Structure 1
Amino acid sequence: MVTPLLHPHRRPDMSTLHHDGTAPTAHEATVDDLTYAYDGVFDRAHVERAVTTARESLEPNAAIHTYLPILVRRYATELLAAEAQASGVRLKAVPEILFVCVHNAGRSQMAAAIAEHLAPGRVHVRSAGSAPTGEINPQAITVLAERGIDLTTAYPKPLTDTVLHAADIIVTMGCGDTCPIFAGKQYLDWDVADPDGATLNQVRDIRDDLQGRITSLLRDLNL
């Protein structure tokens, strides 16, 4: 993740009550925090649009409503970071790989987690879904935990032009023609089995297949 530009002055107390004595809503607190973090990069109106987009993108997924405020904050941060990279405001220190599948609940999440595990700090990864839904496949969580990789905080996210523009390499798995093509990007389409409905041993095979492909990709990138 790109480190936000920090303001040189002391960070304001975001817990301060409104003039009428009410506390800021989760939405307002998120906008306040990200406006501060991206001071000099995006104005407040721009940050608020990103937070609203994040909330509207994640709200239809009833499976994550319990953690919605936390995930909205995380996703809005990702959107702003990707936009800063795509626009050239923030230069990328490492290659950016975007993994895409349909639901962003299995293959693309597994691939992103494995790539980050294999090349920590040497590559930046994101994942997204052409039609994100539900929760992360529990068997995907189990088989990655067997390799010491934590997938418990992941959540399905939609594919956007912003994250596509920020990526250097875009790896698709089972998305068909739903992923737009942008000039200057390297595209790879991997024929990887879908873990949805698969047995635990089959999901282990999918994990190993992904690890082999990712290892080869990282070697090609001299990582």
Structure 2
Amino acid sequence: MARGIDTSAHRGALSAHGRTIAVLGSGLDVIYPPENVKLFAEIKENGAVISEFPPGTPPLAANFPSRNRIISGMSYGVLVVEAGEKSGSLITARLAAEQGREVFAVPGSVEIPTSRGTNKLIKEGAKLIENAEDILEEIIPQLGKMKNLKSPASSTNNNRHTERQPDLTAAEKQIFDLIPEKNIHVDDIITATDAPPADVLGTLMSLELKGLIIQHHGKLFSRRK
């Protein structure tokens, strides 16, 4: 229910008398943003509001990338309308591809920063979308197949060690080297790097976007196997 496209998508579904599901990055008793209290109630009556976080959990920035896997996993496909180069929407798009879902993207001007992410997705194979019919053409034939669709995550993981590792900045390499295959808490990473927390969180998100690490509940991180 975040401000912007999330709110618009929910309102669009409700205005068309459809159903919509909100996946929160907070506890179910913490409505965020607060101005969406009415929307929250409407979604409960015409769909569902779900969260993996316990009651009372605040909407921390680190919670949202991890909840994105739920959004992509429960969808037939993911449409990215706008995204900067380090947008959390790119995490959702990558997860969708790994889960065997369709990935769609709306192209934009090369001069607009919020189009760089979507244009990159299209270059990498996402389907270019100009109107609703473009999505329906792809989704409708898949509706009967989705129940038997198996996520290719395991085959992706098997090939991961043979793939070329993305180029890393010095900061990314420093933090990546600190993250084991088992979980490590974000506070331990910050302590080990002695870098500003905001810089560490930004670097962690960058590593997530590159598909090298996974964020787990409780601000824990591990390498993607």
Same fold (TM over 0.5): no
- TM-score, normalised with respect to structure 1: 0.26
> Which structure exhibits the higher relative contact order, with contacts defined as CA atoms closer than 8 Å and separated by 6 or more residues?
1
**TM-score, with length taken from structure 2:** 0.26
